[in-house]
Structure 1
Amino acid sequence: MFNKIVVLYSTVMIVLFGVAAVLVYQYQTQRILQEHTEANLKSAQVLSVYLTRQYEGVLGMFQQIYGDATLSDELIYFLNNEYENYLNYRLDLYYKNGEQRLRSFTTLLKNYLEQDHGIREVSISSSVNHFVMNFSRKNQELMNENASGESRTSHQQRNPQGWSFNREEDVYVYSRELRDPWTLKQAGGISVKFDHRHIEAWLDSQASVKGRLLVMTSQGGVLYDSKGVYGGQVYPYGLSRSPGDEWVMLDEPSKARVLQLGSSGLSVVGLVSRSSIESGTKNLRDGLLIITLAFIMASFAITFTIISKYSKKVQRIIRSMNRIGEGDLSTRIQMPGEDELQQISTRFNDMGDRLEQYIDKIYTTELKQKQAELVALQAQINPHFLYNTLESIRMKAYVQGAREVGDMIYSLSVMFKSMAKKSTVVTLSEELELCKVYLNLFEKRYEGQLRHTLEADPQLLGCSIIKLLLQPIVENYFVHGFRPAEDENWIGISVEQDGSYILLTVEDNGTGIPMERLEEITHSLEGPVAPMDKDYASIGLKNVHDRIQINYGSACGVSIHSTEGQGTRVILKIPMMARGETA
C-alpha cells in the first residue's frame, strides 16, 4: 500500500512541478517578450525622432533658400552659368552690396552640414551646364560632366527624387529638384546624403536596441536595416501598418510595429523575432528544467523517507496484532514519537492490558463456577439424606408424644428441603420464610432468651434474590454474637427500597465486633474471591459478598457496621428485579 502511495504522490508531485514549471516558463516568456517588444518600440520611436529631425532639417534648408530671393537667385545663377561666371557674379554682388552681403547658399549648406553630423555630403547638380558640386565638412568639389552627359545621367540614376539608398557609397539619400522660382523651369537638383552608421551611434546613445529596426520608404525600399540584410533593397514583405499583437510570418515569425513619419514618406519598422525570444529564454528554460528535476527528486526522497518511516511503524503494529491473534497476550508495542501511530500503539497496549485482565477474570469466574457446581452437586446429596432421616425421627417423636421436639425437627427438615432445591434464585418472600423457620428453631432452643422481628415492604416480596443470602448472616449472629447467658437477645431483619436497589438489613444487639477485627473483615470483602471448599460452602460474609458481586456486579455487595459490646448491622445491597429477571 505504501509503495502505491509513494508512486501516487510522486506522480502528483511530478505533474504539479511540471505544471508549475510550464506556467513559470510561459509567464517569463511573456515578460521577456513584452520587455523586448517595449524596448524595440522605444528604439523605433527614438529612430523616428532622429529621422524626423533630419527630414525637418532638409525642409528647413529649402525654406531658407526659397525664402530668401537673393539666395535663390544666386543658386539659380550658379546652376545656369559656368563656374567662372558665377565667381564674377559673386564678386559683383560683393562690390555692389559691400559688407551687407556676406551670406551665400554655400555658407548656408556648410552651416547645415555642421548642424547635423549625420549628413555625410550635400550634392548640387546643374541641368544646364552639366556639373555637380559636392559639399562636405572638409571641402567642396566641383565635378564637370562630359559632353555625352554620362555623369549627369549617372548622378540622376544614383539619386532619384525622394528617398533612396546608394549602395556604392553606403548612404541613404534625400533628393529634390531645384527650379527657377520665376520661370519654374528645372535648373538642377540637390541630394543630401546621410550616413547610416550615425543611426547606430545615435541609437546606442539613446536606447538599448532589442530586436531589429528597418527604415523604409513608401515604396518599400529599405534605407536602413539594423541587421544589414535588406539595405538598398525592396523589403519582400508588406508592412504598411502595424499588425497588432499577432505573430506575422516574415523571414521568421515576428512581432512587428510600424511607425509612420508623417509627410516624410518614411516609416520605421520594429521587429522582434520568435527566435530571439527563444534564445533569451534558453537559460531560463534550462534553469527551470534543472530546478524542477531537483524539486521532484527532493520531493521523492522526502516522501520516500517519511513513508518508509511510517511503513516500518505500521508493520510493527501489524506484527504485534498478529502475535496477539496467535495468543501472545503479553505483546506490547514500543513506539517512539508523538504522532497518530504512537497514539494507536498506546491504545493497543491499553487494549492488551484490559484483554489480559478480562481473560483472567473470565478464567477465574469459570473456574469458580465449576467449583461451585461440584460443591452444589455434592451438597444436594446430604440435604436429601438428612431430610429423609429427620422425617423418620420426627414421626418417631410424635409417636412418643414429644411434639416440641417434632416441631424442631420439622423446621430443620424444611430448611434442608429448601437447600436441596436446584434453583439458585428465589423470591424475597421465600428467603424471608427460610430465615423465619431458622429463627423459630433457635427460639425453641433458647426459649425466653431470644426474640426476632421481620419487616418488609409487601411490594418487594415478589422480587427475586439469590438463595441463602440472609441465612448465613443470621447464622453468623448465633455463632459469633449471641449471648446465651443473657435473656435480652434480639435480631431483626428489614427490607426497604433504595431507588433501583433493595437494602436487606440484618441487625442484632449481640457482642459486636472489635475494631481491628472489623477492619480485617472489611478488607477481606474487597479482596480476591474466596476459595470454594466444603468448610465454606454455605456460611460466611465473604461467601455472601462474593456471590452478590458475581451475580449483580461491583455496585452491589455487603457492608458491615459494628460496635463492640452493642451489636452489629449488616446491609446487603442487591438490584430490584422482578421474578424471572437476570442481572
Structure 2
Amino acid sequence: MKAGSFYRTYIRNNLFTKLLATFSAIAVLAIVTLSYLLYAVMAGSIERDIVGNQRRAMESVSGYLTAKNDSVQRMVSDIYQDTALSQNVSYLLQHPFADYFRFRIDRYADEPRAGFGNALTYFERKAEGDADIRHLLLYSSGVQYLYAYRREGNPQLLQLNSALSYIPDAMALETPPVSLPSPWVRSGLGLEDKRLYAVRSAINDSSTLQNIGQLLVYYSSDGIQRALATYADVLKGYLLVLTPQGQVVFDSSGAYYGKLYPYASRISALSPSAELEEASLVSVLPESAAGFNVVSVVPKSEIRAATASVRRTVLSVSAVCILFAVALPSIAVFSVARRTGSLVRLMRRVETGDMAGRIHDPRGDELGQIASGFNRMLDQLDRHIEQEYKAEIRQRNTELSALQARINPHFLSNTLEVIRMRAVSQGADDAGEMIYSLSVLFRSMVSSQSIVPLREELELGRQYLELFRIRYKDRFAYRIEMAGTIGGRGVIKLSLQPIIENYIVHGLDPDRSDNRFSIRAEAVRGMISITLEDNGRGMDDQRLEEVERSMRIPLPDEAEGSFGLHSVSERLRLVYGPEAGLSIASEAGQGTTVIIRFPDELEEERS
C-alpha cells in the first residue's frame, strides 16, 4: 500500500518527476551516443593519421626504388648516346674479356681520344658515384662471362658454361627490373648479404639492336631504411617491398629477408584488411613499371593501443557528464517546481497572442532570473516582429529595384538603336556605325556571363576599336587575327577591353598618321596566347617597372590603366590558376606588347 501511494504521489501524478526521469534518460543516451561518436571520430582520425603516415612512407620507399631503377636505366641509355662508349661496350660483351684489352690498346694507338670511351672505367665510376651500390655486374650473353665490380675488394670475372653452370639460364629468365639477386649468381660470387636487391637493364648492340648482355646493379637495402628515417617515430607495423612472386626485397622489421613472404597470397590491393600474423590493416602501392609492390602492414592491435588513451579519456569524461546530467537537473527541478504556475499561465497568454503580459518577480533566484529573461524575450520578440515587418518591406523594394534594373538595360539598348536608325536616315553613317558599336559593347557588358567564347571577346574588342577607327579616320588602323579553330574556347569576359583602353588613353598619338594596333590569338603548346601589340608611345624602363609592380600589388593612387591591367591579371589567375597571367614588354617611342596566356582547357580534356 505504501509503495502504491509513493508511486501515485511522486511518479504518476508528479510531472517534474516524469520530466526528470525523461531528461535523465535522454541525457544519458545522448552522452553515451556523443561519447561513442566522439571516440569513433578521434579513433578514426588517429587511424587515418597512421594510414597517412604509412602511405607517405610507402611513397618514399617507392620513390627511392624508382629513382634507383631510373639511375640504372640511365646508365644504359647514356651508353647509346656516346658513340665511342657504345662501341666499347658492344665489343666488350661480344668478345672474350682478354680480347677487350687488346682492342683498347689498338684503339688507343689509332685514336688517342678513344680512351674516354673505356667501358670498364665508365661502369666503375658510376658504381663509385652511388654509395648504395655494392656490386655492379656485366653479363655477356654471347660469350657467357660475368664481370663483377665490388665496392670492397677486387673485380671478379666468372667464365661461364651453360652446361656446367645455372647462371646463364638464370640470366636468360624474364624478371622485372627490380628483383632479388639470382641465388646462382650469389653463390658464384660468394655473396652472403641477404639485404641486397638487384636492378636489371638489358644492353643491346647499337648497330643491330640485338641483345648482347645485361647490366645488374646490386644495391644495399640500408638505403631504403635511410629513406624511412623521417618516418621512424610515426611508422607502425612494418613495410615490405615484394616481387610479384612474393620474394622480400625489403623488410623494415628485418624478419623476412631471404624468404618468401608467407602471407603474400592473402594481400590484395582491393582489401584494406587481412589475417596475417594477426588481423592487420594492409595497404598496397604497386609499381608496375619496375615490377615491385610496396606493402604496409599495421596490426590492428597497434591501432587499438594507439587509441587506448583516447578511449579511457572519453569514458572518464562520459561518466562525469552522466553524473552531472542526472544530479544537477534533479536539484534544479525540485527547487523550481513550486513556482512555475505563474510562468505557465503567462505562457498560455502568449500562446493566444497577448504579448502585453509580464511576470513580476522581485526575487533574484533562478525563477526570478527566468522571469526576467522571459520578459526580455517578449520585448525582443516584439522588436523582432517589427524588424521582420520592415525587412519584408525592404525585400519588396529590393525586388522592385532588381526588376527595374533588368528593364533599364533593354530600354537603353532600344533607345540607342532608335538613335542609330535616325542617324543613318539623316546620312550620318559614321555616327550610326559608332552608335551600333556602342550598343554592341553595352549589351555585352550588361550580360551576366563571366566566361564567353574567344570569338565573342575578339568581336567585342573589334567593336571597341571600330569606335576609334571611325573617330581618327586614316590616322588609326587595327588588325585582328585568330589562328586555327580556337574561336569556341572560353575566355574571361572583358579581358581585352582594359588593355585596348589603356592603349587608346596612353599609347595612341593623334598627331601621327600611322597608329597601328593588332590582336593575334593562337594555341601554343596547350596554352591560349593572345598578343596585343601597338606602335604607340611606349614606356621607359622606370615606368614599365612601376606598371608591373602595380599589377602585382595595386596601390590606391595608381592610374586607372594600371588598375585595369591588375584586374585582368588577377582574374586570369583566379579562374585558370598560377600558370595563367599577363606579361608586358615596352620601349619608349616604339610601342608596347601585352601577352595574355591561359590554359587551353579543351586541349587538356583531350590529353
TM-score of the pair, normalised by structure 2: 0.44
Larger radius of gyration between Structure 1 and Structure 2:
1
Q: What TM-score do you get using the length of structure 1 for normalisation? A: 0.46
